[in-house]
Amino acid sequence: MARQSPQRPDADEPELDDTDAAAAADEVEEDRPPADRALWDEVRIDPVEIALPAGTGFTLRAYRQARELTPTDVAERDQDDPFLARRQVVETEEDEEVVILDEEFAALSAEEDDEDEEKDAKSRRKGKADASDDEKAEADEDDAEDDEDEAGDEEVPVFLTHKGRLLLFKTPESLVTFIRSGAPNDLSQLDSWNELSERLEPADIAPLDEDTYELDLVVENLRGGHDAWDHELLIEAGEIARDLAYALRLPAVLDMLSAGSSLDDLDEALRASVNGGVGGFLGRRRLKKIGAQTASLGWRTIVGKISAVVDWRD
């Protein structure tokens, strides 16, 4: 069968070579106004995009000194906490409440916790033997004052939240409409909030790559096993989860990601593994020792607790 000759372009339509096509594409890009990063730099607030199992939404985040902020009010939220039924509250000898987290995760990580507690206990016993009661009391008082000063000077995250719930908007337009409405929220306490509400346009809601997080992919990625783990995805998930847990006052999540926990060990190993040299080699070895099931169960709980305090806005 004879080959069909290629169709010729219409005589009324000029034929574009590769150079002309590239120039046309560049012209289209130039017609799209870039997001006004200068505005975000001036107000010291950033747009953030977060993907959760229920969907993807936009919100805002800022960092300020702790003493400048009034924490979000969680009293109303905690009265209707869907995870209360899965918590077991016990009393310690000091009459302090202790929350036992997700039962499966707690059971799988119990052995690691016991080992850590034994090491901590030995360290505490040695410290008590080396110091007198008076010296210890004086040291504790000094440490408390230092901790208070450091906490006040520390930069902490604050999000677009209200009454302990994270406000997530499915479109830039709905986010801008909310901000312009003057509705109550925890970011309105910032001195730059009024300026942002007056100048913000939907086109400005263009989060940077480092401000885009995919929490919806974390559990499935961890279940895939060590060789399938996406290091960048998991490291970024840890960063946003810690920020959200602090800003939303989720102590259980903070505890699960605290120094010495199994998920913190995972985070440190991931960070070490992305570096070259000996540190990267040792990080990859540490990752092999971390149980994929324990990690995925832990992150399932974290994503669930964060999702439970999201207020979706269209």
Evaluate whether residue 28 is within a structural domain: no
**Domain-located, residue 269:** yes
> pLDDT digit string (tens) for 204-214?
999 999 999 99
Question: How many domains does the structure of the chain reveal?
Answer: 1
Domain that holds residue 161: 37-87+150-313
Establish if 79 belongs to a structural domain: yes
Q: What is the pLDDT along the chain (314 residues), one digit of tens a residue?
A: 444 444 444 445 454 455 554 554 445 444 444 566 899 999 999 999 999 999 999 999 999 999 999 999 999 998 876 554 444 443 334 444 444 456 666 666 665 556 556 655 555 555 554 555 555 555 555 555 555 555 568 999 999 999 999 999 999 999 999 999 999 999 999 999 999 999 999 999 999 999 999 999 999 999 998 889 999 999 999 999 999 999 999 999 999 999 999 899 999 989 888 777 667 667 777 888 888 888 999 999 999 999 999 999 98
| Helix intervals (H) in 155-291 | 172-181, 193-199, 218-223, 231-247, 251-256, 262-273, 277-288
Residue pair 162/184 in contact by the 8 Å Cβ criterion: yes
The reply to whether 9 falls in a domain is no
- The secondary structure element, H or E, covering residue 145 is helix 133-153
Residue 234 within a domain: yes
Domain membership flag for residue 182: yes
In this structure, what DSSP letter does residue 14 have? Answer: P
- The answer to the question of residue 52 being in a domain is yes
Whether the predicted model's global pTM rises above the 0.95 cut:
no
* Nearest alpha carbon to residue 68 among 156, 167, 180: 156
